[in-house]
Every structure is written in C-alpha cells, then in structure tokens.
A and B are shown apart, each in its own frame.
Chain A
C-alpha cells in the first residue's frame, strides 16, 4: 500500500514543474509568479510578435532539422557497416558512438570551444550543426541499428533472385524494412537537438543563438513571463513530436532492447 502511494506521488510529482510552467505562462501580470493573478494570452502574443524570439525559434528548428538528417544518415551508414558487414571491432565501435551520452556535457562544451575555435567555427551555425550531430548520434544510432538487426537479410536475397539490382534492392527492400527505425531516429535526434542547452551555451555567440539557450539567458536577466510562454510552447511541441512518434511507430520501439 505504501509503495503504491509512493509510486503515485512520484508519477504526480514528475510532471508538476511542467504544469506550473504552463499555468504561469497564462498570467496577466508583468512578472513571473505562481499561482497566477489573472488569465491572459498576452505573453504568447508577445512571444509570437517578437522578431528576436522568432529568429531564435527559426535557428533552433533549422539546426534540429539539419542535425537530425545528418546524424540519422550517418547512423544508418554506421549501422549498415556494423550490422550487415560485421566490420572488425563493431561492438567497440558501437560503444564509442554512445560515449556522448556518458561524457560530462561541461567537458564536451569546453572541448568543443577549443575544436570549433581551431576550425574557425566558434559562434557559427555550422559549428552548432557539428556539435549537435555528435550529441544526437547516440539517440539516432540505436533505433536504426535495432531495425537493421530485426530486418531479415533473406529479403534482399529474395529481391536479388527476382532480378533486382543492388540499388533497386536498397530502395525497394532494404530501406522500407528499416523505415520505422529511421523515423524514430529522425524524431528523437530532432527533439534532443531542439531542446539542447548545456553544451550549446558554451558555443553560441552574438551571431547565432538557439531558443532554449535564449530562454536560459532571459531567466538570468529578467523574470518575464514570456519565458514561461516560450517554455510552454516548447513543451507542447515536444509532446506533439512524441505523440506522433507513438502513433507512427509505437514508443516501445525506442525503449526496448535491440
């Protein structure tokens, strides 16, 4: 009985901060507070009416889109080599791909400042794309590799015995067989990139800024409820993506072991 109460308490507590943020975004007051004093949509209007906020929203969306495409493509190529061709040390290679997950983000941030400065990409959009690819590859790799492991190699042989040449086999059989994995990879790396703060804040500059980092710096300077509105929009957007993912493929595809 007690364990049941604890379980419910945890389940209720987990989304509580999100609920508070969303509720406080509807305040009519000029400062961030909870409980709210009056109900209004003025901060949403302010968010969507601000060229600065829309610009960083655009930057984040484009960054996440390019990052998702690149890291999913790279993950597919890597998984193809490891799963299909059994490259030597494939297992170690897979572990290596997952290291950005366990490496401290502060350390990655510092390393990336040095690396990007060396490349002349510090404070540029290109630099952010590179870093976001590194950060999202662990999320992109697993679903693609799992889908490839599940796919029956006999399908490709069957297509060959029916006269299909290698490129047709790839487009007509291999790729459709791993489509759920590819969609999962794309959505997950998009979400991870779109919400990334810790490493990105080391690397932004006067010419490039992302939405979550902008939220963070706003919090440091002021307590404007516009931050709550932006955050609530982010929550809504992310939930929407997860909902789509669940509908299209089923969320357990990502959660289960490969």
Chain B
C-alpha cells in the first residue's frame, strides 16, 4: 500500500528484512523504501526493533534474512566503513581524546580526503553554529553543543544517508524543540536523506516527511505524518501516535463510499457514518470494527452531530485547550476543546453533556478486536 509511494527514486530499499538474536526476533519481515532527500522517521516504543533496523542499515548488524539495497545494490554484507552512510549515536560517541575540530575532521581523514580539510570542517561547524569552538575539548562544551559536534562530524563527509538514533533524547524539552527545528533545516539545506529513530511521536510528527510506525519488530504503518495521525490503519498506531478514542461496534451497512455502524454499549444503536478511503473494499454487514476519533474532534453540546450522552468525570487545563475525561455508554471518552474565558468552561465534574463528532473525523480501523496486530502486512 503506502510503502510503494515514494516521492523520488528510492535511495534505500529494505526487502523483507528479518533479524534474530538467538530465539528473539528483533525485526520481522520489514520492507520499506526511502526516497532521495526524504526525512523518514522510525517511530515506536523501546524494544520495537527500530534501533536494530537502523543498525542494520548502518552495517553494524547483518540481517538474518532479506536484503538492504542502496541505489539498487545489495549492501547487506558490506562493512559499515564501506557504506556512504553516516550515523549520529544516541550517546553521541564523540571521541573523548580529540577536540571539536579533530572530531569533525575524523571522517575526512579516515577516508583520506584531506584536501581542504580545514575549510570543510570550518564550514560544517558554521552550519551547526559552532564557529570558534574548534580547539575546545568535548568535555568543555554543553549538551546541545556536543549534539551539534556529533551532527557536524557525521555530515562533513557528505554521506548519502544520515541515520540518527534518538540523538535528542538526553536533552531538556526546550533545547530539544530548538534542535528539532535545526535538524530539519539542515536536512533541507543539505538535501541528505535522513532516517531518524525516536519513540517521541510529537517529534516524529513535526519533523518527518514520512513515518514508519514500528511495533514488535514489524512496521505497522508507513505513510505521511498527516496520514499517520489522521488515518491510523491499526489500533496500535491509533493509540501510539497521539491520544485517541477507540470505540468498537459492528457494521450496520456498507457501500463503496461509506460505512455505517452501531457502537457497542449504546442502548439505542447510534449509526455512525464513516467515509471509506477510495479503492478499499467495504466490510460486510455485522463485521466487528473499531473506530478512532481524536479528542480534538469530539465536540460537546453541538447539535446536528452523531452524539451520545456523556458525563464529565474530570478535566485538565493546558492553556489554549481544555481536555475533559467523559464517561459515556460507549465507554470512556476524551474531548479536547478550545478554551476561551467566559464560555462556560470548565464544566463541573458530573455535568451531563452530549458528545459528538463529524463523520470526517472518524477513522475506520480494519483490525478486529483481538486480532493479532503483529501479523499485519505493511
């Protein structure tokens, strides 16, 4: 499906790659294509196999089966130092016995490209905003600066692909946001293909062209950031990327354009119409399904929507919005509404409201409850 839509010719193609360590399978039958100049993120919880996949692309691990092709050529058995692939490590791995300049110059010297080395290193330090830090030791600079040195070091050899293994995870939130923006800018300026690993879904959404959501060694969904958030294809993706309301029910009626369903738990069956993505075969009547509705699409007390009665159980205020936890016959619901003073918010706990959402906000999740999501193809 989405895995074949690349914006350019693939620079990297991962073909049914599996990696086992003894009896443990870290990566299961993963296939991905990454286009030239793309910013692709591997997103998933710890232990989902994203770092192992990254290390196989880097050449530190060999796939148990499958192939990794770079511009068509199989590189699975090629040594890391023969690949034109740079990497920024989670702990940065700056050389402690070298100063900033020599750290950045390392790759040029290792590849014996010493011509104009001084100019190239200085240009790279300028790109990451570290002019004047050449002779500093790596212990004499701040965390954010170390981050930039690591980035400059891996970019100076102009790799075809840059791999980033949770490089921002050790930084505080504010610095993190700032460096996210800078990373994105540097990626666009240099045009280098970035493959970024993170467990932070906000980071993934804000930086990536495309996101591969991984779970238990498999890619559950590979698509644009917007699709990942608004059209989750599995329960796991819907729950992992952002907050969501997952409601279960059965298909009431279905045709090529839309599906109508009844939600479990509601005394009077509520028909919810779901627009069906083009080209998908509608499910059969009575099939169990789940839907995902993002909290920000749940509206309170607005007539003309598919609604169910609910009761406020608690709320949390976060400046621009206020999030209510609701109890409804269809199960617990989260509703995030814009906060404007003097409009009756926050509602008191115990208050009865009607909660509803527009048809377009509903995503049909093809996975059935109890279905083994790890068995899904991408």
Q: Which residues of A contact B (CB under 8 A)?
A: 152, 154-155, 157-166, 168, 172-173, 176-177, 179
The residues of A that contact B157 with a CB separation of less than 8 Å are 162-163
Choose among B83, B86, B96, B110 the residue that contacts A159 (Cβ–Cβ < 8 A).
Answer: B110
Q: Give the residue among A155, A158, A179 with the most B Cβ atoms within 10 A.
A: A158
- Which residues of B146-160 are within 8 A (CB) of A? 153-154, 157
Q: Does B95 contact A (CB under 8 A)?
A: yes
Residue of B nearest to A175 (CB): B97
Contacting pair A161 B111 (CB below 8 A): no
Contacting pair B93 A179 (CB below 8 A): no
Q: Does B317 contact A (CB under 8 A)?
A: no
Question: 11 A-B pairs, CB-CB below 8 angstroms?
Answer: A152-B93, A155-B93, A157-B87, A157-B89, A160-B81, A161-B58, A161-B85, A161-B163, A164-B81, A164-B106, A179-B97
Give complex CA distance A164, B91 in Å.
Answer: 20
Residue of B nearest to A160 (CB): B80
Q: Does B107 contact A (CB under 8 A)?
A: yes
Contacting pair A157 B96 (CB below 8 A): no
Contacting pair A154 B89 (CB below 8 A): yes
The residues of B that contact A155 with a CB separation of less than 8 Å are 93, 95-96
Number of interface residues of B (CB under 8 A): 24
Contacting pair B80 A161 (CB below 8 A): yes
B139 CB to nearest chain A CB (Å)? 14
Residue of B nearest to A156 (CB): B93
Choose among B81, B91, B153 the residue that contacts A154 (Cβ–Cβ < 8 A).
Answer: B91
Q: Does B79 contact A (CB under 8 A)?
A: yes
Give complex CA distance A155, B94 in Å.
Answer: 7
B53 CB to nearest chain A CB (Å)? 15
Residue of A nearest to B89 (CB): A154
Contacting pair A168 B89 (CB below 8 A): no
Choose among A152, A157, A164, A176 the residue that contacts B110 (Cβ–Cβ < 8 A).
Answer: A164
Contacting pair B97 A165 (CB below 8 A): no
- Which residues of B48-64 are within 8 A (CB) of A? 58-60
Besides the contacts A161-B80, A162-B110, what 12 more A-B pairs have beta carbons closer than 8 Å?
A: A154-B93, A157-B58, A158-B93, A158-B95, A158-B153, A159-B110, A160-B59, A160-B60, A160-B79, A161-B163, A162-B157, A176-B95
The residues of B that contact A159 with a CB separation of less than 8 Å are 95, 106, 110
Give complex CA distance A166, B91 in Å.
Answer: 22
Choose among B59, B91, B97, B110 the residue that contacts A168 (Cβ–Cβ < 8 A).
Answer: B110
The residues of B that contact A162 with a CB separation of less than 8 Å are 81, 86, 106-107, 110-111, 153-154, 157
Choose among B79, B89, B97, B111 the residue that contacts A158 (Cβ–Cβ < 8 A).
Answer: B89
Choose among A157, A163, A164 the residue that contacts B93 (Cβ–Cβ < 8 A).
Answer: A157
Give complex CA distance A166, B110 in Å.
Answer: 11
Are A177 and B106 CB-contacts (below 8 A) given A157-B60, A163-B157? no
Give complex CA distance A166, B82 in Å.
Answer: 11
Give complex CA distance A168, B80 in Å.
Answer: 14
Give complex CA distance A158, B91 in Å.
Answer: 11
The residues of A that contact B79 with a CB separation of less than 8 Å are 160
Residue of A nearest to B104 (CB): A162
Contacting pair A161 B95 (CB below 8 A): no
A219 CB to nearest chain B CB (Å)? 47
Contacting pair B110 A163 (CB below 8 A): yes
Q: Give the residue among B59, B80, B107, B153 with the most A Cβ atoms within 10 A.
A: B80
- Which residues of B257-277 are within 8 A (CB) of A? none
